[in-house]
Structure 1
C-alpha cells in the first residue's frame, strides 16, 4: 500500500475566500448593514467558517446598533444558500494543485478530502473545480455527528479511501488541521501559500509547503 494523503478543502486545495466573503456580505446587506467584510483583508476569517465570518461582521457594527436575538442562527442558513448559489465565481485552485494530485495518484497514493464544509457543498465545489474524481472519499462537516478537530472524520476519510491511518497524513491550512492531525496521531503538512503564509510556523507542523510541487516528494519521504 502506497499510503493515503488527506486534504482539507478551503484554503488548502482552493482559495475559496472570495465566494465565502460574498455570501456573508449578502447576509449583512439583506439587513441593510452593507458589505462588512473585505474579500482580501478578511480572507483568513473566511477559512474559519461561515459562523466566524458572521461574527466578525457583527463585531464591526457600532456599539449602539443592536441585532435581533438569534441573528447568527437566522443568517447562517441564508449564508449557505447564498454560497451554494454562487460557489465557484471567484474560487480558484492554488497553483500546482492538479499536477500534484496527478503525481500522487501516479505513485499509487489514495487521496481523500476531510473538510468542515457541509458535504453537499464540498461535493458541488469539487465538481465545479473539475477535481472530484481525483478523490476516493470525501468527508464533510455533516457526514458524521462530529467534525474536525475530532479525529473521527479524518479516520473515516482514510478508511473510506481504502487506506490505513498509520500510513497517512493530512494537508491543511489552519490550527484546526494541526489539532486534527495530532488527535489522529498522524503528521500534518500546512500550506504556506494561503493568507497566513509563513505565520503557520507558530503551529509547529511537521512540514510547511511553499508550493504544491513540494508535496509529492514529501509524500515519498513520509509514506515510502
Structure 2
C-alpha cells in the first residue's frame, strides 16, 4: 500500500509556543525568569527539548554542561504534558488534506522524535489521532530519527510498503531520515526555516497542505 508518513512538530502542527513555555517554566523555577522567546526561538523548539534547554542555559549560565540540561529534561517533559495544547494548532488544511489521502486509498502514519505518549495525547486533543494508522515516537523502537528504523516501523505499522512511501517533514533530521531509509522526502516551507529548507535538497517542497495530493502523486503515484 502507498503510504505517507508525517513528522509532527513543525510539520503537522505548530507546537512551538507550548514547547517554549514548558522550557521557560524550567528556567523560572531555577530563578532565571523567561529566557526563551516563543517567536524568535521557534526554530530551536522544533529541534527538541534538550535543544531548547541548551539554548536557554547558554544565555544565563556560563559554563553549563550536559548535566545541567539532563537535570531539567524531565521537569520540561512534565511541564509540557500539563499544558500540551494551550497554543498548539494544526497547520491550515492539514486535517482535510490527510483525510483526502485516506479517502484516495493511501495509508498515513506518524514518525516523530516527540515521546510517543505525548504525541498520542496531543493528536487526541487536536481530534485527529484516529486518522493515523501508526504512531512511532522517540525511542518507540529503541532509537530515534535520523536512524531509519522508526520510519520503517511507522510504514509497517500503518500497513504500507517501504518502497511506496515517503516522509513529510520540516528539518534536516527528516531529510536525513528519509535518505537513510532510501525514500523520498517532502519538506514544508511554512515552518520556521521557511524556504531555507531548499538547501537540504528534498525531492519535493510542500508550500501548503493544499498541494499535498499533488506532491504525493508526484513522489509515489
Interval containing the TM-score (normalised by the shorter chain): over 0.9
Q: Please, what TM-score do these two structures have when normalized by structure 2?
A: 0.97
Provide structure 2 residue ranges, at least 5 long, that are not aligned to the other structure: none
TM-superposed CA distance for 1:51, in Å, is 0.1
TM-superposed CA distance for 1:144, in Å, is 1.2
In the TM superposition, what whole-angstrom CA distance separates every residue of 1:39-86 from its partner, at most 9, and x where no partner exists? 0000000000000000000011264xx658822111000000000000
Change (3 A) 1:179 1:16: same
Q: Which runs of at least 4 in structure 1 moved beyond 6 Å after TM superposition?
A: none
> 2:71 maps to what in 1?
74
> 1:50 maps to what in 2?
49
Looking at structure 2, the residues matched to 92 and 170 of structure 1 have their Cα atoms a distance apart, in angstroms, of 21
Change (3 A) 1:185 1:70: same
Provide structure 1 residue ranges, at least 5 long, that are not aligned to the other structure: none
TM-superposed CA distance for 1:220, in Å, is 1.7
SS of the equivalent of 2:202 reads: coil
Matched, 1:192 2:154: no
> 1:25 maps to what in 2?
24
Looking at structure 2, the residues matched to 209 and 219 of structure 1 have their Cα atoms a distance apart, in angstroms, of 10
Could you tell which deviates more after superposition, 211-220 or 51-60? 211-220
SS of the equivalent of 1:78 reads: helix
> 1:39 maps to what in 2?
38
Question: Aligned runs of 1:133-152 on 2, under 5 Å?
Answer: 133-152=130-149
SS of the equivalent of 2:60 reads: coil
2:112 touches 2:145 (CA, 8 Å); kept in 1?
yes
SS of the equivalent of 1:113 reads: strand
In the TM superposition, what whole-angstrom CA distance separates every residue of 1:154-180 from its partner, at most 9, and x where no partner exists? 000000111110000000000000000
Looking at structure 2, the residues matched to 150 and 186 of structure 1 have their Cα atoms a distance apart, in angstroms, of 13
SS of the equivalent of 2:191 reads: coil
Looking at structure 1, the residues matched to 66 and 18 of structure 2 have their Cα atoms a distance apart, in angstroms, of 27
TM-superposed CA distance for 1:184, in Å, is 0.3
Q: In the alignment, which of 148, 169, 172 is matched to residue 172 of structure 1?
A: 169
Looking at structure 1, the residues matched to 109 and 134 of structure 2 have their Cα atoms a distance apart, in angstroms, of 5
> 1:5 maps to what in 2?
4
Looking at structure 2, the residues matched to 102 and 154 of structure 1 have their Cα atoms a distance apart, in angstroms, of 21
2:206 touches 2:215 (CA, 8 Å); kept in 1?
no
Change (3 A) 1:41 1:69: closer
TM-superposed CA distance for 1:119, in Å, is 0.4
Aligned residues: 221
